Amino acid sequence: MDIKKEYERWLASATADDGVTKELREMDDAAIEDSFYRNLAFGTGGLRGVIGAGTNRMNVYTVAKASQGLADYLNKNDTQPSVVIGYDSRIKSDVFARVAAGVFAANGIKVHIWPTLTPVPTVSFAIRYLHASAGVMVTASHNPSKYNGYKVYGADGCQITSKAAKEILSEIEKLDIFADVKSMNFDAAMSGGTVAYIEDAVMTAFVSEVKNQSVLFGDEVDKNIAIVYSPLNGAGLVPVTRVLQEMGYTNISVVKEQEQPDGNFPTCPYPNPEIKEAMALGVEYAGKCRADLLLATDPDCDRVGIAVKDSNGEYVLLSGNETGILLLDYICSQRAKHDKMPANPVMFKTIVTMDLAERIATHYGVETSNVLTGFKFIGEQIGRLEKQGRVSDYVFGFEESYGYLTGSYVRDKDGVNGAAMICEMFAYYQTRGIRLLDKLNELYEEYGYCLNTLHSFEFAGSAGFAKMQAIMKKFRGEVGVGYSFAGKKCQTLLDYSLGLDDLPKSDVLKYLLEDSCSIVVRPSGTEPKLKVYISVSAPTKENAEEIEKMITGELDEYFM
């Protein structure tokens, strides 16, 4: 691509009144290069990028072009295609959703759009409920406010497969971003009936499915636990509070500064419940309210983080791995207790999620299936069970990045479901005088202590992209079987770029070390980052932290 020539073309052709033209006129040479050095990548996660002008940015033109490519793909593969569209609280999410709807309508595709912002799992649910051909969710999940994205789902409610992504990308690449995109005014499309708002009954059906995931099976619990909830200025407020209240949890306080949708995320610049700073205001509120439990969901409400009190009354944040193994054990123990375990139960987790979960699952006779990073791969596995007539065998799925799902009613992680199940688990144990942290320590005592950490290294721009590729090449060339980290030799190297265990090929390396330790290195699929996951099994927490620190120090030289 001739960067300067493409910039000049945009300057002459971009006429939409959305700030693009103004930004183009104010760009210096460095900004032009970063905004135009490539087309925003489209893959199994759809699009994700910084909001702004240019081919490497999220704007009405790149969204419209992606929508046209998806429309062409659907019209080739479906006689009467339809699409579900949802959006969250991010900057321009509602604008991009309406732009996409207008493109689909102009291509003769029926559009079902949620009338207000809504969580990711409701798009997956509505696709299946309305028998749509595909779905689009406008969101950048937990990224900073300057990002937005465009996630694409198939007719099964799962994020699109690699094969579908390649075919859609092929359609997108045929298009000129200005000359080949059909569009229709959103209001005109609504008036003509090509675009319609999704009815309240669909949300009610979704809420009903979430409530049906309870595994109390008649056990009594005190539902008057004091809960503080933060939607982190995202889409979770209405559905999460509705579900909890309908399930009987009415002692709920909401963090006021983070209650209403706001794509600027003024109190948490990185609105991710994995991040301590994003949870800080919620912890403060919990202290003031003397809450038993703090919940927070990310902007598109597919992830949920929690904090609980320790024996000194101080609030402790739990990791996604810790919450996941607690939920797994609770669900399995309740099913076993009430004879509700399916004949051939299975649990899904990602390859970077705590391996301790597999030991817990085995204890209950539950098979563990490991998949690539990304909940879409768990969704695919649920779909395979359904095709085999075994969907009732699905017990639980989770990933270390705070994503959980207990049912097959959607094919993506669900923060609404996660919040409901966490509250139920917490209430169950508290009613029986058990602190959640004590239960966690009980699991460690029974199955062994395991420490999992995540380290991210950011490489922005075109130079950063090249450096990430060079680092992955260096790992493949220098680090293999026999190589030692913190004195622990690598016993097995799993290079998922080769397509291991019937999984799709992916640029991921996993090093299985001695003493049940492991390291995973992979580029992020949604951000300009390399991610390193370290898992250390040890007799005590202190031993594990010491080993993890040594491994981290030895890895640092690869990212300089």
Catalytic positions, please? 141
CA–CA separation, 54 and 50 (whole Å): 10
Give the DSSP H/E element, type plus range, for residue 187. Answer: helix 186-192
State the DSSP code for 83: E
CA–CA separation, 544 and 123 (whole Å): 40
Q: Are 468 and 558 in contact (CB under 8 A)?
A: no
* Dihedral of the alpha carbons of 129, 130, 131, 134, in degrees to the nearest 10: -100
Give the DSSP H/E element, type plus range, for residue 129. Answer: helix 120-129
Please give the full DSSP string across 517-539, using - where no structure is assigned.
Answer: EEEEEEE-SSSSEEEEEEEEEES
State the DSSP code for 319: P
CA–CA separation, 141 and 139 (whole Å): 5
CA angle 243, 249, 255 (to 5 degrees): 80
205-243 burial, b for 16+ CB within 10 Å, e for fewer? ebbebbbebebeeeeebebebebbbbbbbbbbbbbbbbb
73-83 burial, b for 16+ CB within 10 Å, e for fewer? bbbeeeeebbb
Strands 394-399 and 403-405: antiparallel
3-state helix, strand, coil in the chain (%, to 5): 45, 20, 35
Query: To 10 degrees, what angle do helices 356-363 and 320-337 make?
Result: 0
